[in-house]
Amino acid sequence: MQRVRLSKSFAVLTSAVGLLLLAQEQPNAQGRITGIYKFPELPIKEFQNANFRGSVVNDRKILLGSVGSDLWRTTGDAPGEFWMVTDRGPNGQIRVDGANRRTFWVPEFNPRILRVKFDGTDIKVIDSVPIVGQSGKPVTGLPNFKTIDEPRMIMRRRRSLVLTSMVSIQRA
């Protein structure tokens, strides 16, 4: 069974950008890339269901990717450890009835804050903080505003998606 990783190069690029930012803090680095790291192959279903059992039934063989919407570290973090934010989940645009439609391949995807460690040439996820709503249930990356956001559809279906609620971040 082959799995698909969306934006694998983006995850690597983001990591490289993080290293580039670190390199710029050093006086002789001249803003150069100092390394490229590989993100682990984590099936979305397995990754998300570890915290929210049964929340993803079909991940369409997609691996966790598009990590790095933000990348930061604090002074208290161990060497080689960073915090990253996932994107809103695997999505793309298709043309339906003459208009672009955003499709969500795993609409129940729960965005996360990840604590990662750069180890050799690999990135290891050492902690995962789900983003949940006031109810404590996982939020999704689906658009919130029907009048502002672009039209959205579930992959392979022609129906609109339910809007998500307000977001808060809590430790699992």
Model pLDDT, residue 152 = 60
Model pLDDT, residue 79 = 93
Those residues of the chain that have pLDDT short of 50 are 1-24, 157-172
Structural domains of the chain, count: 1
One-letter amino acid identity for 133? Answer: G
Q: What is the 3-state secondary structure (H, E, C) of the chain?
A: CCCEECCHHHHHHHHHHHHHHHHHHCCCCCCCCCCCCECCCCEHHHHHHCCCCCCCCCCCCEECCCEEEEEECCCCCCCCEEEEEECCCCEEEEEECCEEEEEECCCCCCCEEEEEEEECCEEEEEEEEEEECCCCCECCCCCCCCCCCCCEEECCCCCCCCCCCCCEECCC
One-letter amino acid identity for 71? Answer: L
Residue 56 domain boundaries: 4-169
Nearest Cα neighbor of 64 from 84, 50, 46, 82 is 46
Model pLDDT, residue 66 = 80
Model pLDDT, residue 117 = 95
d(CA 158, CA 90): 18
d(CA 36, CA 16): 5
Tell me the pTM.
0.67
